[in-house]
Amino acid sequence: MRMRPTLSWTPTEDLRPGTTNLEPVAEALSTGGVLVLSGAGISTESGIPDYRGKGGSLTRHTPMTYQDFTASAQARRRYWARSHLGWRTFGRARPNAGHRAVAAFARHGLLSGVITQNVDGLHQAAGSQGVVELHGSLDRVVCLSCGAFSPRRELARRLEEANPGFEPVAAGINPDGDADITDEQAADFRVLPCIICGGILKPDVVFFGETVPPQRVEYCRKLVREATSLLVLGSSLTVMSGLRFVRQAAQAEKQVLIVNQDPTRGDQHAHTRVALPLGTALTTVADQLRIPVDDRAPRHSGTGTGVCGASAPPAPAPSS
């Protein structure tokens, strides 16, 4: 039986309504030392839907779990067929105004770091450096047997050659990069093994039912300890992987600010929640701080660039 991901949460107390006042966000950024924690909501303006917002993908789509992926060849065929098709669109996504504003804040020395729950690489494509990819990146592939890493574009090329004419019509794209197609459409898709040992290949992302590597969690906790405040962008904070950092910041009496149109599970710990679209909100703050936002951000390269990617090879920041 497939595990159903957490779809929602029920508030245990009355939460303050969101505001449109951006002054607390601008003030926090002006003092510097702000740690950004971003979620799927920051990428919706790039054409990638979120999980739990209005029309979110979890209303129609159950993401693959780690348990299903490792236990079933049929599940892996379904996943790779959907993911290969989705990658053609997902890999062409471009940073939006929200990503570019975050990169601009960093260039001007206002941020202490960026943690993202997203696997799309759009923060890096917008120019952000040293992004911690909490849940990994779709740009990388890892072998579950020998541990070898390889670029996703390399596997995409191999899959194209192994599946000529694979052009099913998808109903949509999901935040984890796979496309909505039926099991029948995926039935004849050919899955490829690791070219080194013949083992099972998996995207270098944290699936539902899988845990974030402890070393990466501890590195993120260190970033929270060193930050002056925490700015959450586009995350419902429904799952613990992001909520724990909000709780940590609140317990340390650091200011927590959230920009998300819908209520979040972290609202009770926040000083304020701004209920505005992220692109509009962040570019407005940049204007208030007289920081230019470059609208000519680099194109998405399709290569992993996060220094703390999921199970990534050694890099300057701690990694698994």
* Catalytic annotation, pick one of 84, 99, 135, 269: 135
- Residue entry with tokens 């340390």: 252
% of the chain with per-residue pLDDT over 70: 81
**Has 117 been labeled as part of a binding site?**
yes
**Has 32 been labeled as part of a binding site?**
no
Q: Would you state the structure tokens that stand for residue 317, as one six-digit string?
A: 């920041």
Tens digits of residue pLDDT in 265-320: 999 999 999 999 999 999 999 999 999 997 654 444 443 333 333 333 333 333 33
Beta strand 136-143 pairing with 149-151 = antiparallel
What is the value of pTM for the model shown? 0.85
> Annotated catalytic, 271?
no
**Average confidence (pLDDT) over 179-207:** 92
**Has 42 been labeled as part of a binding site?**
yes
**Has 59 been labeled as part of a binding site?**
yes
**Has 308 been labeled as part of a binding site?**
no
**Residue 320 CB contacts under 8 Å (≥ 6 apart), including other chains:** 213, 214, 215, 216, 310, 311, 312
Q: Is the dihedral of CA 281, 245, 39, 96 positive or negative?
A: positive
Confidence of residue 172 (pLDDT cuts 50, 70, 90): low
**What single string gives the DSSP state of each residue in 33-76?**
-EEEEE-GGGGGGGT---SSSTT-GGGT--PPBHHHHHH-HHHH
Task: Give domain 23-288's CATH superfamily.
Answer: TPP-binding domain (3.40.50.1220)
Give the domain ranges of the chain: 23-288
- The predicted pLDDT at position 3 comes to 41
- Residue entry with tokens 């070219």: 195
Tens digits of residue pLDDT in 52-65: 455 444 444 567 88
